[in-house]
Amino acid sequence: MKLSQIVVLFLIIPNILSEDYYDILYNLETLEKYMSSCVSQQKLVYKYILQFIRSKKYITWEWTIVAGNLPEYIYDCIKYKDETYHTNTLALREYEDIELPSKIKLDFVHLFAVMNGMDNLSISTTLVGWGGDLATLAEDLKNNFGYITDLNQLIIEARKFLGIKGQFGEGDLTSYLSAPIMLRI
């Protein structure tokens, strides 16, 4: 099944039509065509699409371990095709939360990052998504408050971070729930 079909199926199930829907769909279809021509092994097309979308925002060494590293020539090839054909598949790397008609938010790039990690390591969304956010939360708490030894104080301070962008927000949650479904379609 083509990546664009997966996204269409995902978006149709809850009767979704956001303003960005047609741009996303067009850019995904275009990216898939470009990627097919940039990659010598067709079995890598899907993997590189996930890495391409993820790799602007999620670029730390941890993400490289979990989700792999997009070869530079792949990025250069896609960028060249965008410039040559006056398209903008690079925009797929910029989407933030997309509000679905149901008013649920979906973090588009985070969805692809979680899918990339799950696909690359054949592990669950729990380890890739939730585990990553827990590690980020622990790092944020340590950086802002040092080491907290009082459990009640830790809970109070942790609640300040929960739900903000990148910390178990609504868009992240929707991504965690959607990624395993989309990988199995």
Angle at 36 between CA 12 and CA 111, to 5 degrees: 40
Non-local (6+) Cβ contacts of 40 within 8 A are: none
Which tens digit of pLDDT belongs to each residue from 70-94? Answer: 999 999 999 999 999 999 999 999 9
Which tens digit of pLDDT belongs to each residue from 137-157? Answer: 777 788 878 877 888 888 888
Q: Which residue has the higher pLDDT, 126 or 18?
A: 126
114: number of Cβ within 10 Å: 30
Give me the pLDDT at residue 13, please: 47
Give me the pLDDT at residue 50, please: 93
Q: Are 112 and 174 in contact (CB under 8 A)?
A: no
Give me the pLDDT at residue 100, please: 66
Element (DSSP H or E) covering residue 97: strand 97-99
Element (DSSP H or E) covering residue 107: strand 105-107
